[in-house]
Homo-oligomer: A and B are copies of this chain.
Amino acid sequence: MQLDERKLTILNAIIRNYLETGEPVGSRTISKYTDLNLSSATIRNEMADLEELGYIVQPHTSAGRIPSDKGYRLYVDAMMAQKDQEVREMKELLLEKEEKMEQLLKNAAKALAVNTNYASMVTAPSVKGNKVKFIQLSRVDAHQLVAVIVAEGNMIKNNMLTIPEPLDDETLLKLNMLLNTYLNGLSIEEINLNIITKMKQQAGIHSDIVSEVIDAVAAAIQEGNDLEIYTSGTNNIFKYPELSDQHRASEIISTFEEKQMLQGLIPQTSADEETGIRVYIGEESPISSMKDCSVVTATYELGEGMKGTIGIVGPKRMDYEKVVDTLKDLMQQLERIYTSKKK
């Protein structure tokens, strides 16, 4: 059997309708909804075909049909293809410029959640490829140092480190010079063993401290890489009956609380597609707790290699169109703010 023009129209009508109402849609509804001028009986025949093809399912006999994951997939793919050509005017999200990256991202997550009515997440840009702009090691007291690292995009990290023996001013100054000369402008991957060995040589008797500091720097940068994920609007899921039963809700909320679990949603393969938008429908999701949801993520890129992810989690019947637009908008804004900050 083939998926001809008419079947597609009907499938589309079914999905559209279901997105709105959340109720299984029946043949009579479609017969009126579309301008095909077909009787409900004909629609029924077509629907039977569509079911056989796997695009829609019946929750039970004598109920209408709802889209299957496969059906959504078709719909979303078609939509995305169409999007690419279209020129869209976006509704503005109004992100304010913030001095600190952290606050900016928190706001972004919130704006996303408020705008879409779904749960949102925003990860800090991975520091992969992010360059160190400034490092400073300062003495807090005799046995404690604080290492402050500012990276591009004004991401500030700091780490305390305890040293066995006090350092005098001069040594500290030297260390700072050393650190900055060697590390400034480098990204974390570029700090390899070679450089570390060289630095240790230069440091002489303080080589043990150098390695501690470098560890601290690495740790600080890594830390951001690991778990800085901002979320918002978790309780939006209560707005969708199909997600708000006890078990499901609890599972989703747990995932959002244990933010590390959301890392699964961050695309690993830095894909070659241009838009950077991914849609996971139901079982497609990399996280099992989201198997009843759809997840849409977008990758934003600040300069070379500094990538972060923004995304939303909602019911399968989400307004994919709006979500994709909103995500694109936010991506652009983040990128714009970044470049304006850089200069």
Contact = CB atoms under 8 A, between A and B. Distances in A.
Contacts of A148: 136, 138, 146, 148, 158
Interface stretch (A78-86, A243-251, A298-306): A243-251
A45 to B, nearest CB: 40
Contacts of A144: 154
Given A99-B162, A250-B235, A253-B235, A140 B133 contact: yes
Interface centre among A150, A154, A156, A257 (most CB of B within 10 A): A257
Contacts of A162: 99
Interface string A127-155: 00000011010111100101010100010
Interface string A232-244: 1111001000001
A99 B150 contact: no
B150 A156 contact: no
A100 interface: yes
B238 A250 contact: yes
A161 B99 CA distance: 7
Nearest to A342: B141
Contacts of A99: 159-162
A98 B86 CA distance: 52
Interface string A207-232: 00000000000000000000000001
A34 interface: no
A67 B31 CA distance: 58
Interface residues of A, number: 32
Contacts of A288: none
Contacts of A234: 253, 257
A235 to B, nearest CB: 5
B246 A238 contact: yes
A257 B244 contact: no
Contact of A140 (B100, B134, B138, B244): B134
Contacts of A161: 99
A112 to B, nearest CB: 14
A125 to B, nearest CB: 16
A254 interface: yes
A88 B150 CA distance: 48
Contacts of A232: 257
Contacts of A100: 159-160
A150 B140 contact: yes
Interface of A: 99-100, 133-134, 136, 138-141, 144, 146, 148, 150, 154, 156, 158-162, 232-235, 238, 244, 246, 249-250, 253-254, 257
5 contacts: A99-B162, A133-B140, A156-B160, A235-B250, A244-B250
Going nearest first, the 9 A-B pairs with the smallest beta carbon separation are: A238-B250, A99-B160, A134-B140, A235-B254, A235-B253, A235-B250, A156-B158, A136-B138, A148-B148
